[in-house]
Amino acid sequence: MKRLAILGSTGSIGTQALEVVAANPALFEVEVLSAHSNSKLLIEQAKKFQPNAIVVTDDAAYEKVTAALSNLPIKVFKGHQALTEVVQWDGVDMVVAAIVGFAGLHSVLAAIDAGKQIALANKETLVVAGDIVMEKAKEKNVPIIPIDSEHSAIFQCLLGENRKTIEKIILTASGGPFLDRKPNYLVNVKVTHALQHPNWDMGAKITIDSATLMNKGLEMIEAKWLFGLQNDQIEVVVHKESILHSFVQFEDGSIKAQMGLPDMKLPIQFALGFPQRINNDFKRFRFKDYTKLHFD
Q: For 137-162, write each residue's pLDDT tens digit.
A: 999 999 999 999 999 999 999 999 99
Boundary-marking domain end, from 130, 147, 164: 147
Domain residues for the domain of 194 are 151-263+282-289
Q: Establish if 251 belongs to a structural domain.
A: yes
| 258 and 220 both lie in a single domain | yes
* CA 194, chain centre distance (Å): 21
pLDDT in tens, 59-74: 999 999 999 999 999 9
Residue 277 within any structural domain of the chain: no
Query: What integer pLDDT is reported at residue 200 of this predicted model?
Result: 82
Q: Kindly give, in sequence order, each residue whose CB lies less than 8 Å from that of residue 95, ignoring residues fewer than 6 positions away.
A: 4, 5, 7, 87, 107, 108, 111, 116, 117, 118, 119
Cα–Cα separations (whole angstroms), residue 173 to 101, 134, 143, 150, 247: 20, 25, 26, 9, 12
At residue 206, the pLDDT reads 85
Measured distance CA(273)–CA(259) in Å, rounded: 18
Q: Is the predicted pLDDT of residue 101 greater than 90, yes or no?
A: no
Tell me, what CATH number does 86's domain have? Answer: 3.40.50.720
Residue 177: cis peptide before it, omega within 30 degrees of 0? no
Number of domains the chain contains: 2
Residue 119 and residue 271 in contact, taking contact as beta carbons nearer than 8 Å: yes
Same structural domain, 11 and 75:
yes
Does the model's pTM come out above 0.75? yes
Q: Give a yes or no: residue 141 inside a domain.
A: yes
Tell me how far apart the alpha carbons of residues 236 and 250 are, in angstroms, rounded to a whole number. 16
DSSP state of 103: G
44 and 125 share a domain? Answer: yes
pLDDT band at 203 (very low <50, low <70, confident <90, very high): confident
- 38/79 same-domain check: yes
Decide if 162 contacts 227 (C-beta within 8 A): no
C-alpha angle 269/270/272, rounded to 5°? 65
**Of 93, 112, 147, which residue is a domain's last?**
147
Q: Side chain identity at 13, as an amino acid letter?
A: I
Query: For 277-281, what is the mean pLDDT?
Result: 96
Which residues, 6 or more positions from 269, have their beta carbon under 8 angstroms from its beta carbon?
20, 278, 280
Residues 79 and 190 in one domain: no
* pLDDT score recorded for residue 214: 94
